[in-house]
Structures are given as structure tokens and as C-alpha cells.
Amino acid sequence: MNKFFYMGTGKKALKITKKILKWILYILLIPTTYFLLAFLLTWMTVDREIKTGITDQSIYLNTNGVHLDVIIPQKNLSPQLLAGIQYHETAEYLSFGWGDENFYINTATWDDLTFSNAFSAMFLNSPTLMHVTRYSQVYSNWVEVKVNSTELEKLNAYIANTFKTDKNGQKIILEGKGYSSVDDFYKAKGSYSCFNTCNTWVNSAFKASGLKACVWTPFDYGLLNKYESE
């Protein structure tokens, strides 16, 4: 009787073990598939819509190693985009970055990063912000992108449309929430996730503007690599 009991117990344990291993493989398959798709779609290029013409204007890409911003000279910003944004005449360049509100506000530096903030940003439906930073000069680590007037106009419109506005059509600033005296946060449209990241937003802005871009990318290096080699 004990022999059959132990045989039955052993089979049951083996069955449970197989189920556990199967679920582990399923769990590992999700991030593996995500990174594989990200690599493939990042590598694939959406060509520039207008390959001829005068590209006499410059915009820039900048990254902190993870997060990508697009930078536009103040003189090339449309009145629609500039309206309601705090800036000074000495700030010749404005950078725009889109991201998760909780992550932006509570993770000023990587030392502030927590599992809760990271998980919330990547997997939960959460509000977003536009981060606007003012610069007085071009920095050597910025990547220059030459654009024409049509592309610049479309890029301005895309960024302006990302700002959330109040009932009077005014941009909504978060007073006193900037990291320093040269930046501010504004309420933005959309929800951040692992499929729609800050870098995805910049890449989508480039696609909407007719500029060369990735098919899809959640990472900063995807779009940078398209232009650093030029």
C-alpha cells in the first residue's frame, strides 16, 4: 500500500513540477518576445517622406542614457506651441520630453528609482506630463537633425497637440515641480506604458513629421542611431 501511495505522490509531484516549469517558460517568453520585437522594429527604418528639398533648419536629439528629448530652436517654434509655455528670450532652445507623471515627479535622479515607480510606469494606466527645458546653447552631445520647413511645421503641431489644455484652451503647468530654474512640467495627453514610452513618443513625432524614424522603438538608441551615422 505504501508503495502505491508513494508512486501516486511522486506522479502528482512530477505533474505539478511540469506545470510550474511550463508557467516559468511562459513568463520568460513575454519579455523575450518584447525585446526581440523591439530589436527588430527598432532596426527597421521608416524612410523620410521628402528626400529632396531644402533642409536648412536644425533640430536636435538628446538623451540622458535612457530618455530621449527633441530640441527645437525657440525661433522655429510655432505660436501655437509657444503659447502658455514659460520661457525667456535668452533661452534659444527648448527641449520637449514626454513621460509618466509619477515617474517624472518622484524620480528626479536614478537614486530615487523604486520598483513601485518603475512598475507603475511600465504596466499601469497612468497620467503623463510634458517636460520642457530651456537651453541657451547647443551642447556637443546633442545629435543634429536637418529638417525642412514642412517637417518642422508638422513637428511643432505634433508636440503642441500632446499638451493637455484646460477648458479655456490653456496649457496646464505644474507650478514648482521642475527640477531646476530652467525647466517645467505640463499636463499631457496619453498614457505611458512599456509599449508607449518616452522614446516611442519622440519616434512617433518624427514619423508624423515625415522624418526618418524606426517602425517602433521603446528605447532611446533606436532613433539616435538613425541620425548619428549621418
Could you give the count of Cα atoms lying within 13 Å of 75 in the half-sphere of its Cβ? 5
**Domain positions in the chain:** 1-43, 47-228
Please give the residue that has the higher pLDDT: either 109 or 76.
76
Predicted confidence at residue 123, as pLDDT, reads: 56
Tell the residue number behind the cell numbers 521608416, with chain if given: 46
Predicted confidence at residue 122, as pLDDT, reads: 55
The model's pLDDT over 98-148, given as tens digits with 9 standing for 90+, comes to: 999 988 888 655 555 554 555 555 556 678 999 999 999 999 999 999 999
Predicted confidence at residue 45, as pLDDT, reads: 95
Please give the residue that has the higher pLDDT: either 153 or 19.
153
Tell the residue number behind the cell numbers 519616434, with chain if given: 203
pTM here? 0.83
- Cα dihedral across residues 143, 148, 153, 157: positive or negative: negative
The model's pLDDT over 177-205, given as tens digits with 9 standing for 90+, comes to: 999 999 999 999 999 988 999 999 999 99
- DSSP secondary structure string for all residues of 115-163: HHHHHHHHHS---EEEEEEEESS--TTSEEEEE-HHHHHHHHHHHHHHB
Look at residues 153, 162, 138 and name the one whose alpha carbon lies nearest to residue 85: 162
* Model confidence at 43: pLDDT above 70: yes
Percent of the chain with pLDDT over 90: 62
- Cα dihedral across residues 64, 158, 216, 120: positive or negative: positive
> What torsion do the CA atoms of 148, 153, 154, 157 make, to the nearest 10 degrees?
160
